[in-house]
Structure 1
Amino acid sequence: MGTNVPHPESRTLSDWLLRLESIHPRTIEMGLERVSRVRVELGLVPSFPIITVGGTNGKGSSCAMMEAILSNAGYRVGCYTSPHLLRYNERVRIGRQEASDEALCNAFQMVESARIRSGVTLTYFEFGTLAAMQLFSQVEVEIAILEVGLGGRLDAVNIFDADCAVLTSVDFDHMDYLGNTREEIGFEKAGIFRSGKAAVCAEPDIPGSVYRHANAVGANLMHIGEHFGYSIGIDAAGWSYWGSGGKRHALPYPALRGAYQLRNASASLAALDSIRDRAPITMSDIRQGLLDVVWPGRFQVLPGRPVTVLDVAHNPGAAHALASSLDSVGLYQKTYAVFAMLKDKDIIGVARALGSRVDTWLAAGISAPRGATSDEVAQALEEAGVVKEGGEEAIRRFPDPAAAYAFACEQAARNDRICVFGSFHTVAEVLRYQNMRRRKTVEHG
């Protein structure tokens, strides 16, 4: 072992994460053979029920809602989501608390030993998935919620059989891996369905491939509007849910903003209904869970003026949902968009979804390997035809999202709005900038 390489026992979490990035030659490699071999070597056979959540958009919000409701019911919940915003620890939560560095390092060491014995390599996500489940098994969680990383059928999460699978939506993203049509994408995402188990689908327009796969494997498909659903009261004081567990009226709106969250909330309740024999919950648990659910970066409104909205929307479907939410929260004199994306995403499609709502575009670069430069973002904005009167003057270029956000804060008046979106990287950089500003204010307070 080289002198600059930490001994496994002394590796910090940062050391481990660097190690995970270098083990496998490719960042993403679809397939379950390698990760399954390591799982067998670890002897990972969970005895607790598992809810697996897939879909193009809405996965994280749905996971967070189920986590909050089940935790309020008193269950020890393990929740695995990705990607993270500021800390890797966000991905692995037990009892709604982020896993400690020490716990993660110990789990990584166990996976690494099993990987070496198996004679295979693992991607960053595969390694992290096994470590999360190893940790959940060690601390004996009572239920686990697992978010699919990419697709479903060949995603590492799918080596574990779901007692309930949730499909939140089917839209265009990751086409290089999942296919170019909704039929192809739907088939990949439906790969998390299991025979005789509930398959909850919150996508109103289900591709035929999802129906066919559910029938082929013998899953119990539950479709929104057909087997479960929701309605909004006339006075907008609350909403109602109906499903296999009966009707629930006068529910509070989820603490997560955005009208589309009722779809995610309904799917979450349908999923919990499907496992109520193993994890029963009460109306009180549902109400409190909806009220205290937290999921940063999803139509997150920061305190203060001008209003700042953070959203990780990085595909057209999510961008249309963001646009609808922006329309529903009042009028503002001017909207500044801090906009940065990865170059392999549909930058033009996302820009078009938000186009008419933005007065000034602040195109920023992302320094990550797949990040688009500010020039590439600006060019996409011009091709999208979303720039308002003023042409080039309506687009400003910045090296990174933090610089763009700092400019927006200087320029925006109290009755203006700043919207930060396009990527997890974009939101994370602005959150770090905000935290830094807050610390400086406290220090000089």
Structure 2
Amino acid sequence: MNRKSLLVGKRASRILRSLSTAVAAGLLCTSFTGCTTLTQPIDGVPANRLPDTFFAEPKNDLVPVDISLLSLEPPRDYQISGGDILGVYIEGVLPFNPPNAPPEPPPVNFPDSESTLPPSIGYPIAVQDDGTLALPLIEPLDVEGLTLEQVRESIRDAYIDNEILRPEKARPIVTIIKERTYDVIVVREDGGGLNVQNLAADYIRGGSDRSASGAMVKLPAYQNDVLHALVETGGLPGLNAKNEVKVLRATEADQRKRSQFMQQFYAQQRAAMLDPCACPPELPEDPSILRIPLRVKPGVIPDITNEQITLQDGDIVYIESRETEVYYTGGLLPGGEFPLPRDYDLDVLGAIAVAGGGVGKSVSGGSGSLIGSAGSSIPPGRVYILRKTRCNGQVAIEVDLTKAINDPKSRPLIMAGDTIILQHTCEEEVLNFGIATFFTYGIRELLRN
């Protein structure tokens, strides 16, 4: 063996020893400090081992409710009730005329610009709350539920029966000057919609007004329903509102029901707090609050009656915000809070993408990792979904990203309140450290020699 060959062999041996020392140091350092699998272990359960109760129900197949179910069908003929203002003209009685004086013509009334009623004639007479109509010289007439033609006949018969008018002179005129209205309160927390170009920032950090807006709307008769209340205040709920409408009745009976319901719930909570091992009860559905869904499963027709969608004075229509329907990210993902879509599903891969992480690509600058500052060549292959359970519990759902990419069934859907933690496995961190060491220390040694 010549001198040149001996020199090359010594250099190669020295480089190999240097690389071996660096790799061994890296393995030792990774084992004790760098590998988050060892230093920050998460006791995860593979997704395929958990029962269905831990997973969200899909909502991609939900379809919008027929909004005509939220509207009342008006009758063919308007039916009189308390609060209506009628135009009444009775020749010789309303107004009173002397025996030989010519009759006065009836006054003409023009409706407001927002009214859909035609011009009317007659003197304004209000229908009382009990459904009666007070006219001169006769007892009040019960006109509740009658049409205009039926009211006209009732007035004519009353004046003939009381011998005030002769049949040939009894020709009353009855029209509608103003329909009865219902004062309804609408409270909305949807803030007028979202900026779809920047959904996360707009939803979470105030791109739109997150405060609730309220309005008192006057709904005419046979338009006092949920749909007209929504149309008067901006339409159906926006993307940042829940897919439902709540109706709170203003009657004293319903208010008492809601008060009793809350008292019973708090009593149960206080009783549960006396036992440290007991699980505090969750707030159940209030039976006195009507919830009208706006999206249902295909083929399901919600059982919505006219009585449920009919609004009375003082009723409250409430559109609730989705402010709490968010998920959180950490680990190798940028930490943040992100909203969940309202009308479609978001699986774990989509949630990672929304958070700014790339599935199947290397990361750099991750926190809690030895190689985070230098970058990595092998992408992270494990993600944990920290999901809350009852009684302040938690389950960690372990997802293998390689399986999730190839099998849609291995992609759990994200639920409100979830925390997504992206991590390297210990083997991936060791390989990344070895690759980084070779391309820094090893190349430098080759060039030096």
Q: TM-score range by the shorter chain?
A: under 0.3
TM-score under structure 1 length normalisation? 0.19
TM-score under structure 2 length normalisation? 0.19
Q: Which has the higher helix share?
A: 1
Q: Which has the higher contact order (CA 8 A, sep 6+)?
A: 2
Rg bigger for which structure? Answer: 2
